[in-house]
Structure 1
């Protein structure tokens, strides 16, 4: 299934993120052209208030375990600030060298080929493009990686793999009306 997502979101991290979590969050910010709030010691309520002031409904929080990104939590702050509407439990693979990511953030497609994530397809509206998508896309597919149910790769505007990967260990849908 192919779909697009609304990227009018704010992204932040858990408090005092590690260098690795900060770098991963910055990559996601640049790839999807999201607004980033540097968390530091800022309370979650202050982040929520900032999101509301900017008239943005969705807040993405990257949390970490032992210095590594471990979950992506998506909150719809108009519905609840206590419970994320969608959570992904993850491991990441981040390239050791920093490189510029060239992507057209306004035209990113999500291609979900993962049978293990088929339930997520129901949350989005499928689109039928007139051409084969080979660039500016996020590809979700089943994986043989131990402990993971799916693997996500990011392709830039030139059709090249960015070398950033997310391994999804599990997910939880709390509210099916997240869009």
Structure 2
């Protein structure tokens, strides 16, 4: 399915459905690959069929997705860039056609923004927040350490999430405070 130009959708919100963590392999930058494998060990990372670094999947989902469908890396400030900006694709030039509908001007610069139509949050949520979401995604792409406010779920991760398939936040928190970070 071709991505949808931003002008063709009325709103977007993260529904915390976790579909993106199950359907896709999470691409990692070389820095993210090195950092996550250093902190958690090589078991959490993988390479795709093209040799690109990515997060490992366990069963049908990302190894860091909790039972509740939340990202176990987000509260640690380790959420990968690909996850922070999904389902948006921000380009300097139009790639999928419909250039006028994809055009988004931010900070005096022209961007062409497309949305993955597989996301269940498309055309959901408050339409007034869509420009805030897209602006935040652009800022995150320019500076990956930018905190997320509009482009992620507003559901807080509960203090402890332990099960055989999810990580304990207390364990992750202790890893974060270790000297490995």
| TM-score tier (shorter) | under 0.3
As a proportion of its length, which structure holds more strand?
Answer: 1
Q: Under a length normalisation based on structure 1, what TM-score does the superposition of the two structures give?
A: 0.26
* Structure of higher RCO (CA pairs closer than 8 Å, 6+ residues apart): 2
Structure number, greater radius of gyration = 2
Q: Under a length normalisation based on structure 2, what TM-score does the superposition of the two structures give?
A: 0.26
